[in-house]
Structure 1
Amino acid sequence: MIFKLPITDTLNALLAQEDTDKDKKITIEDKGPKTFEITSISGDHYTVSGTYNLSNLLQELVIAKQEGQDVAEISLSKIEELPVQRISRMIRDYYWNGLTRRMDKTGVKSLISDSKNASLTSEKLTIYVPYQDTLAYDYYKVLEKDLPIITQKLPKDITPEYVKSINHKPGILSLKLEDHNGNIEGVPFVVPGGRFNEMYGWDSYFESVGLMLDGKVELAKAMADNFQYEINYYGKILNANRSYYLTRTQPPFYSTLIREVFDITHDKTWLASHLETAIKEYETVWMVEGKRLTNNGLNRYLAQGIGITPEAEEGHYDAVLKPFAEKAGMSVQAYIRAYQSQQIQNDFLDTYFLHDRTVRESGHDTSYRIEGNCADLNLVELNAMLYKYEVDFAVLIRDVFHDSFELHLRTYTGSYWLEKAELRKARMNEYCWNQSLGMYFDYNHVTRSQSAFIAATTLTPMWCDMASEEQAEKLVKHALPLLQEKGGIAGSTEQSRGEISESRPHRQWDFPNGWAPHQMMIWKGLLNYGYNAEAQELIYRWLYMITKNAVDYNGTIPEKYDVVEATHKVFSEYGNVGTDFEYISQEGFGWMNASYQYGLSLMDKRYVEALNDLKPPESLF
């Protein structure tokens, strides 16, 4: 049944009655009667009941208003839509569009009003362009006539000293533009959402998983094209395309992305181009001795830079800096200014911030697992990802390119890459596998010792098929029970995280929080080894948490969750992106959207039905 409703009058009446806390949402925390009568222009009446249905009505009215309508034609099927179908549909048809950006004129206009550029109200946004990209430089120079931007060409050699010199005027880095007979268009990309309004490294892969499931392979392909641009022009896949990220990369998923895109498109020419670039990234970013390759043959993260990271929120480092400031008889802010200008030398802080930048390169910013020593660690997940690179290269060369791939006067074969993968596996078993505990642990190549910190990342070797059947069995037996919580897998165990205090605050990648990329990799890993029952339970717990929070809180899909309490109300550094909106979420959150679609694609039908009925996990498992 379709109801024709005057948008403004209906919206005002609905909010006046039901939005009792005046946050422009309808949630379980509102104290209204939870029933609202709608009257169609034709005179038909219907009573909408319950928080979920009322919030759906609110959202549908706002969607119609955003489309420029005065009268909304709203179907009861939308108001009473089953929650799983509605969340999935909103992600597919609405949120991905809200998260899609381009670095052309329209996209740059929106960047000018980005929250990170709020301080630029009387200045201009700087767009930094690689020194050899003349198309982008000429394009943005022309845009300077119409937009408050400055086009700045980067030097050929980008050093930490150069990056520090421009941190006082941070800007956006150009991404791929295409010239269609004189019409310049930006190659699209998907952003995480909220204040993360640029293209991030590993977020982009997980978002692409959701995009491909939702029939948007061209957008996933475009993400890979922007990865290729970053490698060719900036030397690496960037943490994100902001100027202060020029010396940082992120967890490597490029080979997985191009392989999964190719499985859909079968575009061999496109694959050959990207395989060449992926091998280049592997060899120049990851396999340079003394940098991200350590002397034991395993890899680490290593983000170059000088001083305090400019993107950290004010006060983030106060607990670290306060003792030094007090000893110097200075305020924390005064000490920061003196340290940043190098008036004060502090070797401890130099090392601390080397590790801190490296934590951010790892994507796990921040966690007590890696705080203070990240650059010294052969992380389990990084080496699992690079093992996946080596296997992907081997499979693609063998199966697509007849076991011969020419690159820079060199011929690569599948066996060449499989040998590298087997060697990495052997080194992981030697340094990171703990037979007695039945888990993988990060290895400190400086102290030559294993970490004792139990994290969700211990399971990543199952994602890439690195673990043996015996190792997988031990991981399922020993690690899963320690990490599984009401809403899925926690970032770490509570014991590993340790006590929290004013001087030792929460870190967002630790207990009790859970994150989409961990869940997605663990699900796939369990299924790789035949642990379907365990995978189904974990998928259900995660999707139930997302669904219940969306039903109770006006469609909220945030960046992360407290999986112990199974809530989006997370109390840790940085807050929770994706919860601050009015009327309707325009975006959800990138990899959270993807985890929902991916989980649904793997979930048994009986659990989808249970999820629509909001049956708690405890009643099923």
Structure 2
Amino acid sequence: MKVFNLQIEDTLSRLLLQEDTDGDKKITIEDKGPKAFDLISEDGTKHVIKGTYQLSNLLQELVIAKYDGKTSVKIPLNKIDEPPVSRISRMIRDFYWKGLTRSMDAQGVEKLISDTKNESLTAEKLPIYIPFQDDLAFNYYKTLETKLNINAAKLPEVISPEFVKSLNDKPGILSLKLEKENGEIKGVPFVVPGGRFNEMYGWDSYFESVGLLVDGKVDLAKAMADNFQYEIEHYGKILNANRSYYLTRTQPPFYTSLIREVFEITNDKNWLKSHLKTAIKEYESVWMVKGKRLTENGLNRYLAEGLGIPPECEEGHYDAVLKPFAAEVNCSIEDYITKYQKGELQNDFLDTYFLHDRTVRESGHDTSYRIEGNCADLNLVELNVLLYKYELDFAELIKNVFDDSFNANSNSYTSSYWFKKADNRKQLVNTFCWNADLGLYVDYNHVTKTQSTFVAATTFTPLWCNLASKEQATVLVKNALPLLKEKGGIAGSTKASRGDISEERPARQWDYPNGWAPHQMMIWKGLINYGFNKEAQELIYRWLFMIIKNAVDYNGTIPEKYDVVEATHKVFAEYGNVGTDFEYISQEGFGWMNASYQYGLSLLENRYIQNLNKLIEPEKIF
């Protein structure tokens, strides 16, 4: 095997000067260089590195060595010619997860201070908000105030929407779990999505943990669950993310799935017992309160209980909505926002608009025409599927692990209690969300008492936890796959449901033509649950092929989402595409995209893996 002994700076300079013709400090198919670079091996023979993929691999290996503080490096040819399937997997396992791991101790907080979302705070200290009961964290962060540019502030015992709104002009980070070991305080680690998403997000964390478990990083997945537990115990819910403006907002519930999958590896019964108590508390206090997230028909909805305009949105995001109201009172949009936020102007329409807008963000599907303008009125099929999974997990864990008796929150539970709840929810989902005429699962508007006609990837979610009957599953797969399957996998919605796009009605990122990792992962598992293995293999192949092709052509790019119709990372929708803006090498990929790759690879048959390495188009195989 040829080995190249290279001076890093000199080789990097020559390589980029020759091959990076557009000056973006990457080597991609859009560069116009010769795509051939001479290297001298250790035995003195010349070797020509040819092709975009190989040249970008060389660039990446040089940069990794540079980041390690080296001035020279020995790079074997098999690293440059490494098959793409295994290279991407290795980079995720050994490099990207590390780049995405954070903690809320001194070292981790120092990184958070440089977050782009804190740039407006340069003249002040970054607030770190600590739960009322957590004296360990409060005292710890107080000691850091003299060392770091932070301000430790304790939250009130009762956190109201009014209080959360009062923090909008001084947003900060919410503390997560700290542990004291041998006199030293350390933050319990967590994985962030990546890019501008530099916090612990709710449902992202579950899907990231699926990938972590595939990669044998059990302690990190366990730590994610421990931080979930901290959030429930101290903030009352699993947060949208651990920033102050998310205190009234939760996320899609995957907590029981996470603790169950961790327990299946660790068999730590005491750990499971503690988390199961917390999960039951979350279920009862967050989801099953009548008039809030529990609707009159027995199904659930999302309901973000904040007030005013969501402060995390970029300037100008709501201008089109606010403009006519500002014109009506003859003031600028900026002045209208100020007066509306202070309560000097009353506007019932905007109150309702922002209730639904915040709730869209709580749902995780921000944004989509499926739920825009009415999200708080909808029994979303995927939410009720997730809560059915909670009830089923409670029942099965209590029966199989805790001898059919479990005490939590001053109550004693048996498996039959939870099996009955799960069976009741299954009946309700099939009553309100199953459309027999379409052969699809859809959302239900509990206010208008009507089913939605919007066809989305979420129609498949009942298969993920075996809620559908075999007959329903067969009809669903027959009807939904042709509607939603695209070159790169399953689209967020059908084009017809999304409707026409214009300047006045821009594309939404969770709709056609875009595809998202959590949808794919749930759909793969659901298809396998019901024996649709051929269909699952095809969808996994399509998704992985798209990831690999884009990574090969674009210097290892692994982004937040894809346009699955064109099978490209070049997505034209709001918010851009996190994970595409880097120089030399991606150090993170993107959290749940990394996970989808590792999970999909663990499910894919070997014969298809060989085809992926050869970059054989899906259409030539299926």
Range into which the TM-score falls when normalised by the shorter chain: over 0.9
Matched residue, 2:377? 376
8 A contact 1:252–1:386 mirrored in 2:
yes
Secondary structure of 2:180's match? strand
Q: Which residue of 2 aligns with 1:90?
A: 91
2:34 is the alignment partner of 1:33? yes
User: Cα RMSD between the aligned structures?
Assistant: 0.9
Q: Partner of 2:147 in structure 1?
A: 146
Say which SS state the counterpart of residue 392 (structure 2) adopts: helix
Partner amino acid, structure 2, of 1:408? N
The one-character-per-residue Cα deviations of 1:128-187 (angstroms, maximum 9, x if unpaired) are 000100000000000011001000000011111001101101000000000012100000
Give CA deviations for 1:557-592 in whole Å, capped at 9, x if unaligned.
000000011000001100000000000000000000
Counterparts of 1:263 and 1:150, CA distance in 2:
41
CA distance in structure 2 between the partners assigned to 1:70 and 1:3 by the alignment: 14
Tell me, in whole angstroms, the C-alpha distance in 2 between the residues paired with 1:584 and 1:478. Answer: 41
Shift of 1:341: 2.0
CA displacement at 1:2 relative to structure 2: 1.8
Shift of 1:237: 0.3
Say if 2:24 and 2:583, in contact at 8 Å, map to a contact too. Answer: yes
Aligned residues of 1:319 and 1:504 also touching (Cα < 8 A): no
Matched residue SS, 2:525: helix
SS at match of 2:79: helix
Equivalences for residues 399-548 of structure 1 within 5 A: 399-548=400-549
Structure 1 residue 342, shift from structure 2 partner:
2.0
The amino acid of 1:64's aligned partner reads A
**Equivalent residues of 2:489, 2:542 under 8 A apart:** yes
Q: Shift of residue 330 of structure 1?
A: 2.9
What's the secondary structure of 1:127's corresponding residue? strand
Name the counterpart of 1:308: 309
| In structure 2, distance between residues paired with 1:149 and 1:333 | 29
CA shift at 1:410, angstroms? 2.2
Superposed counterparts of 1:106-255, under 5 Å: 106-255=107-256
**Taking structure 1 as reference, are residues 328 and 39 closer, same or farther at Cα in structure 2, changes over 3 Å only?**
farther
Greater CA drift, 327-336 or 448-457: 327-336
1:68-101 Cα shifts (integer Å, max 9, x gaps): 0010111111100000000000000000000000
SS in 1 for 2:152: strand
Q: Is the 8 A contact 1:313 1:574 kept in 2?
A: no
- Please name the residue that 1:267 is paired with: 268
CA distance in 2, matches of 1:82, 1:329: 63
Structure 1 counterpart SS, 2:231: helix
Q: 3-state SS of the aligned residue for 2:429? A: helix
SS at the partner of 2:129?
A: strand
Q: In 1, Cα distance between the equivalents of 2:149 and 2:162?
A: 27
**Match of 1:45?**
46
- What SS does structure 2 have at the residue aligned with 1:316? coil
Give the counterpart letter for 1:191 in structure 2: V
Paired letter, 1:480:
L
1:42 shift after superposition: 6.2
**Cα distance in 2 for residues equivalent to 1:467 and 1:322:** 46
Q: With the length of structure 1 as denominator, give the TM-score of the two structures.
A: 0.99
| 3-state secondary structure, aligned to 2:13 | helix
Tell me the secondary structure at the aligned position of residue 127 of structure 2. Answer: strand
Residue type of the alignment partner of 1:290: G
Q: In structure 2, what is the equivalent of residue 16 of structure 1?
A: 17
In the TM superposition, what whole-angstrom CA distance separates every residue of 1:88-138 from its partner, at most 9, and x where no partner exists? Answer: 000000000000000000000000101111112221100000010000000
Aligned partners of 1:616 and 1:264: how far apart in 2? 36
1:204 partner amino acid: S
Distance in 1 of aligned mates of 2:388 and 2:440: 18
Structure 2: runs of 5+ lacking an equivalent: none
In the TM superposition, what is the alpha-carbon distance from 1:325 to its structure 2 partner? 2.4
Q: Counterparts of 1:40 and 1:324 in 2: how far apart (Å)?
A: 70
Distance 1:562 1:359 in 2: 21
Give 3-state SS (helix, strand or coil) of 1:284's partner. helix
1:598 aligned partner: 599
Match of 1:342 in 2: 343
Q: How far did residue 40 of structure 1 move?
A: 4.5
Aligned to 1:70: 71
1:306 aligned partner, one-letter code: L
CA distance in 2, matches of 1:409, 1:358: 31
Q: How does 1:347-362 map to 2 (within 5 A)?
A: 347-362=348-363
Contact kept? 1:99, 1:193, Cα under 8 Å: yes
Partner of 1:574: 575
Q: Deviations over 1:303-348 (max 9, x none)?
A: 0111110011122212222222233333322322222222221110
Between stretches 116-125 and 78-87, larger displacement belongs to 116-125
Deviations 1:4-34 (A, max 9, x none): 1000000000000000000000000000000
Gaps of 5+ in 1: none
Aligned-partner residue type, residue 317 of structure 1: Y
In structure 2, the residue matched to 1:559 is 560
- Helix, strand or coil for the counterpart of 1:126? strand
Identical counterparts, % of pairs = 74
Q: In 2, Cα distance between the equivalents of 1:334 and 1:121?
A: 24
Q: One-letter code of the match for 1:7?
A: I
In structure 2, what is the equivalent of residue 618 of structure 1? 619
Give, as a single letter, the amino acid of the residue that structure 2 aligns with 1:333: E
The CA deviation at 1:288 is 0.5
Contact 2:457/2:493 (8 A) holds in 1? yes
Contact in 2 for aligned 1:101/1:189 (Cα 8 Å): yes
In 2, Cα distance between equivalents of 1:114 and 1:371 = 29
* Higher alpha-carbon deviation: 326-335 or 477-486: 326-335
Tell me by how many angstroms 1:549 deviates: 0.2
1:258-284 Cα deviation digits (max 9, x unpaired): 000000000000000000000000000
The 8 Å contact of residues 277 and 409 in structure 2, kept in 1 or not, is answered as no
**SS of 2:5 mapped into structure 1:** strand
Q: Secondary structure at the match of 1:411?
A: strand
Q: Alpha-carbon deviation of 1:41?
A: 6.6
Q: Is the 8 A contact 1:4 1:42 kept in 2?
A: no
Cα distance in 2, alignment partners of residues 441 and 511 from structure 1: 17
Q: Tell me the secondary structure at the aligned position of residue 151 of structure 1.
A: strand
Q: Which moved more, 1:332-341 or 1:281-290?
A: 332-341
Instruction: Name the count of aligned residue pairs.
Output: 621
- What stretches of structure 1 move > 4 A for 4+ residues in a row? none
- 1 CA distance for matches of 2:327 and 2:89? 52
**1:23-78 alpha-carbon deviations (Å, 9 max, x no partner):** 00000000000000113576442110000000000000000000000101111111
What does the per-residue CA deviation read over 1:522-561, in whole Å, with 9 as the maximum and x for residues that have no partner? 0000000000011011001100000000000000000000
Give TM-score scaled by structure 2 length: 0.99
